[in-house]
Each structure stands twice: as C-alpha cells, then as structure tokens.
Amino acid sequence: MLDFSDPSFSDFFASELKVNIDDPKYSANGGSKGKRLRYFLQTCDDSTAVRALTALWEHRSEYLARSGGADPVANAEARYQGLINRLSGGASPQRPAASPSPPPVDRQAVAKIKSDLLRVTTLAPHARGYAFEGFLKGLFDAFGLAAQEPFRLRGEQIDGSFQLGSETYLVEAKWHGQPMGVAELHTFHGKIEQKAAWTRGLFVSNSGFTEEGLSAFGRGKRVICMDGLDLYEMLDRELPLTQVLERKVRRAAETGSPFMRVRDLFPQ
C-alpha cells in the first residue's frame, strides 16, 4: 500500500489522525494494511474519513512526485474528489489548515547559538559532553520547545526533553570522535520503549552515525536522528529548528528511516 511498511503505516495514522490503527478492532476483516484502512473508513464518522483520505491523498501525491512515475490509477483525482464530496455532503472538503509560516528567525539569537556551538568544540573532551547538552537546551529554548534539563530516573541518564506539537521527545546527546553505531541507537531506543507509548526520541550525535549502525537499527522506530552537519547547515541557512524536526518526523513516518539529512530535506 503506497510505500508504507507496517510501522510507518502505524506512525502515519498516529501522527496525522491520532489513531492507533494497530488496535485489534480494525483487524475485524483481516490484518493487512488495506483491510484495516477499509474497516477504519467504514466505522469512523464522515468528517474523520475526510481527514484520513485527505492526509492519505497528500501522502500519495508526494510519493508519486518522488518516484517520478505516472499515476497508475485512471482519473484518480476526480474519483478521489467525488468520494470526498459525497462524504462532505456535496460541499468542498475542509482541508486541514495549512501549517502557519514559521516566524522569522532571530538572527541575533542564531549568532549566539552558533557561537555557543563553537565554544563547545574548544573544550576538553570530558567537559564537551556536558556542554553539548547545555547547548542543545539553549537551542530548544530559543525555538520555544519547552526544553528540560538532563535528569536521571532509577540510574538511567536522560539528556533532556522537549515538546514538539503534542509529542514529548527525550534527548540523547553524544559528542564523540567516532560516529555512533547500532549499540548506542538500540540503548537509546530501549529507554524510549520503557516510557509512555506517545514518547518519542531525538538522538543528536555530533560525529554522526555509521551506515551499518543505521541499517542494523532498522526502520519504524520511535527515534529521529541529527548529526553535527545537520546542526551546522540548519544554523548556517537560518532554518527554524521546529521546521527541521517536523520535516524529519514526517519523512520518518513516510519512509521508516530515522535519519534524513537536512540537506536532503531542504534541497537548495
């Protein structure tokens, strides 16, 4: 079904509709993605069906644009519009409100953030990790993400947290000489899995991640990743952090991949 895996299909419904499509009730007619979707549409109210179909149509349009292929369904848009009109009682569908344009980036604040990041690079290795955590809290605060200081739960170190939309993200911050491998990714994901089902994670590694580690980590996890190059390009191009994170989350929901570079998400 489109390019959805089972995990990304679940994440799509959770992020776009706040619906747990893995609930057994949606598998009454079978557990495939298509059968669960059909049962969901048959049992939800019309307004919810319109929202679901609109979100799926937008995802489908982006998928076809990325793949560069012709639409395999004849007259697909007219058929889609007809279905939406019937569900909407003949009226034009109420499309989800467009996301508000991000506020202009405070260049003075960005300059200070870049200076703080440069200061971290001058510190001794032992002090660098703690300073990097502090830098990230300042970065999250600058973009209104209600950041929390690092904290410890039953001997488990959490490098901070922040709020993005309605989701809570725990933070893992690493400043090492070598890229992070699968062990570090699994360890952080294990912390996330011990928390509430709606908890998400952001793993920030200044040195990046190994290709082998990302491949072994797999897809459809509750973690997104950033590296030092992401931070540099975001600050250098004055991209709002909130917009960067939202686009990473969206792409992770669509592809299942935890790590997409800023330069790929915001091609120049």
Q: Nearest-CA neighbor of 147 among 139, 260, 113, 155? A: 139
Greatest extent of the chain over all pairs of C-alpha atoms, in Å: 66
Tens of each residue's pLDDT in the chain, 268 residues: 566 788 888 887 887 777 888 999 999 989 898 888 889 888 888 878 888 888 787 777 776 666 666 667 766 677 767 666 666 664 444 444 444 455 556 778 788 888 888 888 888 888 888 888 888 888 988 888 888 877 555 545 677 888 887 788 999 999 888 999 999 999 999 988 888 777 899 999 999 999 999 999 988 888 999 999 999 999 989 899 999 999 999 888 888 899 999 999 998 7
Specify the DSSP element, H or E, that contains 142: helix 125-142
DSSP structure string for 204-216: EETT-B-HHHHHH
Delineate the domains of the chain, giving CATH numbers in brackets.
6-87 (no CATH), 107-265 (3.40.1350.10)
For residues 246 and 209, the answer to whether their CB atoms sit within 8 Å is no
For residues 120 and 133, the answer to whether their CB atoms sit within 8 Å is no
Q: Which amino acid is at 128?
A: R
Q: Nearest-CA neighbor of 56 among 33, 25, 26? A: 33
